[in-house]
Amino acid sequence: MSAKAISEQTGKEFLYKYICTAAAVQNRFRYANVTSETDWDRLTQEHPWLLTERLVVKPDQLIKRRGKLGLVGINLDLQGVQEWIRPRLMRETTVAKAKGVLKNFLIEPFVEHTQEEEFYVCIYATREGDYVLFHHEGGVEVGDVDTKAQRLLVAVDDKLSEDQVKEKLLPHVPDDKKEILASFIVGLFNLYEDLYFTYLEINPLVVTQDGVYVLDMAAKIDATADYICKAKWGDVDFPPPFGREAYPEEAYIADLDAKSGASLKLTLLNPRGRIWTMVAGGGASVVYSDTICDLGGVDELANYGEYSGAPSEQQTYDYAKTILSLMTREKHHQGKVLIIGGSIANFTNVAATFKGIVRAIKDYQGPLKEHEVTIFVRRGGPNYQEGLRVMGEVGKTTGIPIHVFGTETHMTAIVGMALGHRPIPNQPPMDAHTANFLLNASNNAVTPATTRTASFSEHKATNDATPAKKSKAGLPADSLHSILWPLKNVVTGDWKEAQASSGCSGAKATTLFSRHTKAIVWGMQTRAVQGMLDFDYVCSRDEPSVAAMVYPFTGDHKQKFYWGHKEILLPVYKNMADAMKKHPEVDVLISFASLRSAFDSTMETMQYPQIHTIAIIAEGIPEAQTRKMIKVADEKGVTIIGPATVGGIKPGCFKIGNTGGMLDNILASKLYRPGSVAYVSRSGGMSNELNNIISRTTDGVYEGVAIGGDRYPGSTFMDHVLRYQDTPGVKMIVVLGEIGGTEEYKICQGIREGRITKPVVCWCIGTCATMFSSEVQFGHAGACANQASETAVAKNQALRDAGAYVPKSFDELGDVIRTVYDELVANGTIVPAQEVPPPTVPMDYSWARELGLIRKPASFMTSICDERGQELIYAGMPITEVFKEEMGLGGVLGLLWFQRRLPRYACQFIEMCLMVTADHGPAVSGAHNTIVCARAGKDLISSLTSGLLTIGDRFGGALDAAAKQFSKAFDSGMLPMEFVNKMKKDGKLIMGIGHRVKSINNPDMRVQILKDFVKQHFPATQLLDYALDVEKITTSKKPNLILNVDGFIGVAFVDLLRTCGGFTRDEADEFVEIGALNGIFVLGRSMGFIGHYLDQKRLKQGLYRHPWDDISYVLPEHMSM
């Protein structure tokens, strides 16, 4: 969502901080906020003027016409303000249809003035620029300012001057006030632009001899510009519309949305309602809400929301558990229903997102059963069959009634089932076309292109033409209008005038895509590009539609893709200029640039005359930037599809990115060859649903475009409808409009004036908005009605009156399309062609594995760590649990090395071993090597490796050997004296015995520390005791033959493994055998080696050369003579 309302206090704060004007703006920052928690004594200390001035008080909760509603207290002292607030604070109040609680009040100084000193000013954004409205009479009784006010359009990228203001806006203003008002309005407009306002109204604006006073203010800002305006905005609080509470769950989902590349929205309408929705897609979410309201469920509809843009399993889980938590708080005597709906996804892996929902259902299965929740599921898209199967299985295993449907069922049919308006099929038919593109019904490997790329509606010069279909008996063509329902007429504007005002000077192409269209893709979107190439191949194109890719974050290189069965290389360029220069045949750019970089990359692209069409996928581009792109595109004759779109598709020719989904859907919806029906939609997900509906009710799609959900799409409904009107292959047009904006009225005017003569089937979604008591911002940024003419109900009626075919609801859209199509077939306008199967396209290995169609032996196995899910897992324990349990480094080592959760004392012992083995000075061989390497200018890794390579039986590697020797002797029942004598007889050293410096008289404190801990905490120390008995024998012969730190750790670790209770005897012996104990020394001593490396670098030591006097040169006698 882009344009969001802000509180009056926030708006005034922005104005007082940042307005730049010669006019003296009075009462800057003189306002105080009052809530139920306000401490009046503290408030008067912070705002001492409250005690001395006359005051005005009013609620600050996005309530319109407060003065007429008696919600403004005027000319009061502080006590009067308190008395005025007391009966209203935290009391329910009705404003229009909305019931809400007054909880936030604004107090300001009262400004003594006359009626003649009140003015009205408003600035608001439109597609072509920003309108400034001014009226010389302001205040409560200003009336209909749209008809009264002076109006000035400041075109996109133009500046407003004081002379323009005086001439166009201030003809009725006294001369003594013109200068100050002109300066203020220009300053206000500059503020409006700089801080990305979309609406700013001041009424009244009071101008006295002292200066300018902003009395009442209402404003909206473009929330998507947060990354630009953060420094000036700070943390903006967006209050909910009056009548709707701000719930913490809404804030939680908004926070998830802000941290995700996906779209997650939640608005609570009636937390006690029995009908809950969890819908995928911004357009689909509106359609489901419409259908629920159409079927009488408006009072029971609990929420509006949507998830889209391929959220991860974890994000979907978090979203689902929030909704399930909300719906299982209060019981309903009729039980509750949860509608998990959606259109046919373009690129979202349905099974992956359903896994998150299934997890949430399992977690809440108890409350769901207790609250008698029935779940209805309908979804399509990549891997949807697996998603539906998993959803059906969880219903069986949990006992929760879950009814599952796929693309064979109309999208909103489950709403009728959930509300009892239609029966629930016992065994719904399932489309099982996942991976069908592996098979070919024909024996031909490749179908001749000419048989499938001509439009289905072209007349064939042949005597055996396919006979025209008869109209369906249940819906005869001559009674088409019997299913259309009357509503009140609305007034429409002149579409020609609107076209002229848009300032379009560059001629735009009627045909955007052909079989020879070549595109550049901006962004490393390999999956989308492969999808385009697979589509090209199945359409029997001669060459791939993607010529190159642009990705600024890597150097020029080649990227591998598949063209049918063989591999090809596509060039990837670091900058746009090189790509354009080397590929002059390209005329389409598909931009996957982020919302932050899409504007700059698009403006750069339009510098190249070869580009005629640009598709911008990114959602969340600030509206001001979008309007600048539109202006330049109009001047250069470039068609922009988007922003916030999946793109478009021309069957048999070209598809943009992920449009149309994967190949199974391409084939199911017959998008590999052209039909006779062209459509235009706002929603990307709903465009794929239209592909499905049109393929089931007609001969298929000729072309389809999703113009995007933003308030100002780069191209409009009318732009594409006129293209379709002028395209011979298009025989009928389908438009899926939406609440918000007035573009649909241009279609009405085009039909009336005869510019559009082909049948137009149209439905505007968002009819439910007029039934809600408070304003709801739907999933798309542009889906919000700012006036009556922008409602879906008004637009549907206007289209109906103009002669378009308008169904009663989205449920009947397919029926109307079928009826119009059958009529065109019956009168010979459309002659359906014979179906010809497309060529086969191999499935990618990764996707085939995802679908469970193949299996392959793994190259290697692992059992200690799994990074594939939402959370890193160590030996079965999520990383969050590791920290929650405060397991420490010893605990982590236990999980990764031994696959066990070791006792606390064992973890502590491991950490102590790492500490005591961390370093033993620079003289030992490992540290010496590390230092020499560091001083030779080598990097950290090389220097560390040099030191580690010295570890062995003679240095540091005695842990394993000591453990093995002592264990073998102890386990064989050999006495300590027998063990010592045998080792002497065999001529072998006893590993872990002996020290160069330390002795029985000068003990190693490291060993003493470890010994004290082990004796205190270990359950048993049999091997350690045995080793200490050996030490008594060896030190009696020579005092330095002590049990050294390596030997101690080795034998103590064997005791730990054997007695901690976590290992069998065989497992304990295996860990000793495979070298686990030496790992303790390697890990610990690495810390010391790294310390020596850093020390040498910090001391800036030069290249080391060993001194001659420390070398004994012993040469052969004949060489030295």
Each residue's pLDDT tens digit, 842-876: 887 877 887 778 888 888 899 999 998 778 999 99
CA angle, residues 1080, 1081, 1083, in degrees to nearest 5: 65
Average pLDDT over every residue of 494-508: 49
Token pair recorded at residue 266: 């939640």
3-state per-residue secondary structure call for 85-146 = HCCCCCCEEEECCEEEECCCEEEEECCCCCHHHEEEEEEEECCCEEEEEEECCCCCCCCCHH
Angle CA 123–126–132, to nearest 5:
25
Residues 455 and 478: their CA atoms lie apart, in Å, by 27
Would you say residue 894 has pLDDT above 90?
A: yes
Please state at what angle helix 1022-1037 crosses helix 1045-1059, rounded to 10 degrees: 160
Q: What is the mean pLDDT of residues 549-564?
A: 93
Whether the CB-CB separation of 223 and 1 falls below 8 Å is answered with yes
Give the per-residue pLDDT at 487.
Answer: 31
Mean pLDDT (whole number) for 992-996: 89
Phi, psi for residue 439 in degrees, rounded to 5: -110, 155
Cα separations in angstroms, 65 against 139, 142, 885: 10, 11, 56
Helices 226-233, 8-18: axis angle to 10 degrees equals: 80
Q: How high does pLDDT run on average in the chain?
A: 88
Mean pLDDT, range 485-514, rounded to an integer: 53
The conformational region for residue 884 under phi > 0 = left, psi -120 to 50 = alpha, else beta, is alpha
- pLDDT for 456 equals 42
pTM beyond cutoff 0.85: no
d(CA 403, CA 375): 6
Closest Cα to residue 966, out of 957, 975, 954?
975
Q: Give the DSSP per-residue string, 973-1020.
A: T--HHHHHHHHHHTT---TTB--SS--SSS--HHHHHHHHHHHHH-S-
Residue pointed to by tokens 């489309």: 431
What pLDDT is recorded for position 244? 76
Q: What SS3 class is residue 681?
A: strand
Q: What is the pLDDT of residue 962?
A: 92
Kindly report the number of other CB atoms within 10 A of residue 736's CB atom. Answer: 26
Orientation of helix 1005-1017 relative to helix 904-916, angle to 10°: 180
Peptide bond connecting 643 to the previous residue in cis, omega within 30 degrees of 0 = yes
In tens, the pLDDT along 924-943 reads 999 999 999 999 999 999 99
User: What's the rounded Cα separation, in Å, for the pair 614 and 537?
Assistant: 23
Would strands 336-340 and 373-378 be described as parallel, antiparallel, or unpaired?
parallel
Catalytic residue numbers?
780
3-state SS assignment for residue 736: strand
Q: Judge contact between 447 and 837, C-beta under 8 A.
A: yes
| 267 bridge partner residues | 304
Query: What gap in Å lies between CA 495 and CA 729, rounded to an integer?
Result: 25
Residue 422, CA distances (Å) to 412, 413, 425, 863 in order: 11, 8, 9, 51
Handedness of CA 49, 55, 59, 63 (dihedral sign): negative
Q: How far apart, in whole angstroms, are the C-alpha atoms of residue 141 and residue 122?
A: 16
Range 335-358 average pLDDT = 92
* Residue 467 confidence (pLDDT): 31
The residue type of 730 is V
- Residue that wins the pLDDT comparison between 409 and 1118: 409
Q: Residue written as tokens 């009636």?
A: 270
Q: What is the DSSP pairing of strand 613-616 with strand 546-550? A: unpaired
- How far is residue 992 CA from its own chain's centroid? 58
Task: Count CA atoms closer than 13 A to 969's CA, side-chain side.
Answer: 26
Looking only at Cα atoms, what is the longest distance across the chain? 123
Residue 614's H or E segment, with its range, is: strand 613-616
pLDDT, tens only, 764-804: 998 887 776 556 666 565 556 567 788 889 999 999 999 99
Q: Are 340 and 414 in contact (CB under 8 A)?
A: no
Between 123 and 245, whose confidence is greater? Answer: 123
User: CA–CA separation, 100 vs 242, rounded Å?
Assistant: 6
Higher pLDDT, 444 or 619: 619
Do 456 and 713 contact (CB within 8 A), yes or no? Answer: no
> In 10 A of CB 579, how many CB atoms?
24
Q: Mean of the pLDDT values across residues 115-122? A: 95
Q: Which of 1068-1074's residues contact partners 24+ apart within 8 Å by CB, and which partners?
A: 1069/967, 1071/898, 1072/960, 1072/963, 1072/964, 1072/967, 1073/964
The DSSP element (H or E) to which 253 belongs, if any, is helix 248-258
* Helices marked H in 672-716: 684-697
Quick: pLDDT tens for 274-327: 999 999 988 899 999 999 999 999 999 999 989 988 888 889 999 999 999 999
Structure confidence at residue 122 (pLDDT) = 96
Q: Which helix (H) or strand (E) holds 46?
A: helix 40-46
Say if residues 383 and 351 touch (Cβ distance below 8 Å): yes
Closest residue by Cα to residue 54 from 26, 29, 73, 68? 73
Token pair, residue 331, equals 């019981």
The pLDDT, as a whole number, for residue 379 is: 94
Structure tokens at 124: 């608001």
Per-residue confidence band for 884, with pLDDT thresholds at 50, 70 and 90: very high
Strands, E, within 364-453: which ranges?
373-378, 402-405
Strands lying side by side in the sheet with 877-878:
865-866, 873-874, 877-878
Write the Ramachandran bin of 815: left for phi over 0, alpha for psi from -120 to 50, otherwise beta. Answer: alpha
| Interatomic CA distance for residues 1039 and 1033, integer angstroms | 10
65-77 mean pLDDT: 92
Here the tokens at position 828 are 């010979």
Question: Quick one: pLDDT at residue 773?
Answer: 55
Which three-class secondary structure string do you get for 1080-1114? HHHHHHHHHHHHHHHHHHHCCCCCCCCCHHHCCCC
With residue 57 as reference, give the H or E element that holds it.
Answer: strand 55-59
Nearest of 780, 782, 640 to residue 715 by alpha carbon? 640
> SS3 helix, strand, coil % of the chain, rounded to 5?
40, 15, 45
| Secondary structure class of 969 (helix, strand, coil) | helix
Q: Which two tokens stand for residue 128?
A: 């072509």
Report pLDDT digits (tens) over 1043-1063.
999 999 999 999 999 999 999
Q: Compute the residue count for the chain.
A: 1121
